[in-house]
Amino acid sequence: MGVKFEGFNYINGGICAPSGFLAAGLHCGLRKNKSKKDLALIVANEVCNTAAVYTSNKVKASPLMVTKEHLEDGKAKAIICNSGNANACNADGEDKAKSMCKIVAQELDIDMKDVLVASTGVIGQTLDIMPIKNCIGNLSQSLSTTGSGNAAEAIMTTDTVKKELALEFEIGGEKCRMGVIAKGSGMIHPNMGTLLCFITTDVDINTPLLQKALKRAVKLTLNRVSIDGDTSTNDMAIIMASGDAKNKKIINEGKDYEIFLNALYILLMNAARKIAADGEGATKLLECMCVNAPSEDVAEKVAKSVITSSLFKAAMFAADANWGRILCAIGYADAEFNIDGIGVELASSKGKIIVCKDGNGVSFSEESAKEILSDDEVKIMIDLQNGDGKAIAWGCDLTYDYVKINADYRT
């Protein structure tokens, strides 16, 4: 189900795996294709400590602004999310986003301020609120502990597979769980959110530490995914903590907090990999690791620079070991480091090959390199030999289908 880590086990159930959460998803009519779900609802049994991070795009969608307002107290009980329409750049966008919250609040008999809202889809088109209003009864009646998969499908746009994961681990001898659903396939670039991501956990943790953990985990994972260099107007990641695991409440940084942070990292790292692998038109997942950099920040900038290079991504589509494009992308990274010691190795399950050493090319078999790069997961290892900083970034190849998907997106 994902990259394995000792002490953390993958389980089924997604966002409903943690105790205290229900979810549902259905087709309400926002999308023309009736076979595609387009409305999701996540509800906690009680009001939860909640944290979020948002897009860095200056143009922010109305649902994001309403969610930010509702989260001023760090509490939430429900999340409503639609696909098919981003409700962004609309004069009535804020009213529509608040209407979605009000519809949920009235249906569930809860405070409207405890409802968060998200939307995804085409930007600049007016959102029709009636399909949501007409289906809220069916949606709420569909809420269940097995509804995570339906909710994951309902937030998808050009995604070809749903992104859903859950982990089980222990804190202070108590069994704890954490789950996630996410959507993202295009308009993804590492400047926060890079997608919609909803996380639930039954760990008991205060809101300030929840916010701190989310910000750090997102920096190491979701902020290091790039599909096409475009940062969306709607990106956000939200985490709700029910406290139902009954662990000793985490109120300080320490061993329990580190376990929680590691769980969140593992969950979001695997979500990031799933998103990168499902990039629009993609045929392979690219993972770039930069090591021995002057700092983590430098390593991150170098890895991102490579993973966002259109020329490099196109070469990977052709399984062409054009390592000069990697060096070029390293060279224009906005960071200071010594270029003389750079080494580059390409690897996959089919083997590995060194293509650059001490900043210069080395002879290698083009045939072997092509075979290695023909795998559906390719690793690019960059060694700066200039410190102990390291970072990983994820992306995908650039294919003909990416252009076709986005040329036809509104039609």
The yes-or-no answer on residue 194 being catalytic is yes
What is the DSSP pairing of strand 285-293 with strand 9-10? unpaired
Closest listed residue to residue 234, CA positions, set 171, 169, 129, 157:
157
Query: CB within 8 A of 408, min separation 6: which ones?
Result: none
What is the C-alpha to C-alpha distance for residues 12 and 68, in angstroms, rounded to an integer? 30
CA 278 to centroid of chain Cα atoms: 12
Residue 341 in 3-state DSSP?
A: coil
Distance between alpha carbon 337 and the CA centroid of its chain, in Å?
Answer: 29
Residue count of the chain? 411
**Amino acid making up residue 6:** E
281 to 84, 156, 231, 322: CA distances (angstroms): 19, 15, 18, 21
Among 55, 194, 200, 221, the one annotated catalytic:
194
Handedness of CA 123, 126, 132, 133 (dihedral sign): positive
Cβ density class 129-164: b for 16+ within 10 Å, e for less? bebbbebbeebbebbeeebbbbbbbbbbbbbeebbb
Residues that are catalytic: 194
